A and B are shown apart, each in its own frame.
Chain A
Amino acid sequence: MEIFLMVLALSLAGVLVSGVLFAAANRDVQPGASPVLVPAAAAGEERFFMMRPAARRVAPAPYVPSDVLALQIERHVRLEQAAAERFHEFPSVEALHMPTLSPLAG
């Protein structure tokens, strides 16, 4: 009888421990309690064998001499003035938005 009670008590204890472990393994993740990920490297920090993504690099604006820029603007103005004068002669929505070949009109 004593042996029977001891086996029963051990079995109950085993079931309880198994239940606690099972509940801990299957509990729901709390919303907003996402794990904090520590980045392997801070932004901008370079490490051996690690390259920064190219997309993060800000491409420098291409240098255009002011004389070249002035010529581009002159050409742009001539083309735009011609387009605007066509609109003045024959006003229409299409004429108002007619594209030109100016590289500054992109």
Chain B
Amino acid sequence: MAIPDLVQGLSAADAAAVLALGRAVELPAGGVLFRLGDPAEAVYLIQHGRISLTLPMQLAGREQDVVAEEYGPGHTLGWSALIPPHRFTLTATAPVATTVLAFRRAALIEFCAANPHVGYALALNIAAVVGQRLQVFQAMWLREMQRAVNNAHA
């Protein structure tokens, strides 16, 4: 596995110390990691498998969760745990058997307070994850808008 995005830029010792804070969580195929609206208490790093982030849509008159994003090993998700109001805004499920490392917010904050240089690097890495998602979603949104405009004037 490539260096996880959460510990990019850290020394091997610091990265190992951060990863040691995580608790492995096994999810069977179809297992739910968290649901939209749940309190966000932990950040997750995918070790093996895949996580689908879904949002509810009305399809043929009934509500159905559809995939909004999907990520594989090395990706961090659940950063709502670090950003108020600490509530998940999507539902995370494992389409295949998946293992994630769960980092509880309290443990991460305590570790970062004791190791400010690691906290600084982690903050930058989380900002990079959030920024990447934001820019990708901006691009996806604009592509959909362009199609809507094209269809309206076709």
Footprint of B on A, CB under 8 Å?
A: 64-66, 69-70, 73-74, 77-78, 80-81, 83-85, 87-88, 96-97, 105
- Are B137 and A84 touching (Cβ within 8 A)? yes
Complex partner residue of A87 from B139, B144, B146, CB under 8 angstroms: B139
Interface size class of B (residues with CB under 8 A): 20 to 34
- Are B60 and A83 touching (Cβ within 8 A)? no
Interface of A is mostly: helix
Which residues of B have CB within 8 Å of A84?
Answer: 135-137, 139-140, 143
- Total A-B residue contacts, Cβ distance less than 8 Å: 52
**B70 interface hit (Cβ, 8 Å):** yes
Footprint of A on B, CB under 8 Å?
A: 57, 59-60, 62, 64, 66-70, 132, 135-137, 139-140, 142-144, 146-147
Which residues of A have CB within 8 Å of B69?
Answer: 77, 81
- Are B66 and A77 touching (Cβ within 8 A)? yes
Which residues of B have CB within 8 Å of A81?
Answer: 69-70, 136, 140
Least CB distance, A73 to chain B, in whole angstroms:
5
Least CB distance, A44 to chain B, in whole angstroms:
28
A78 vs B146: C-alpha distance in the bound complex, in angstroms? 18
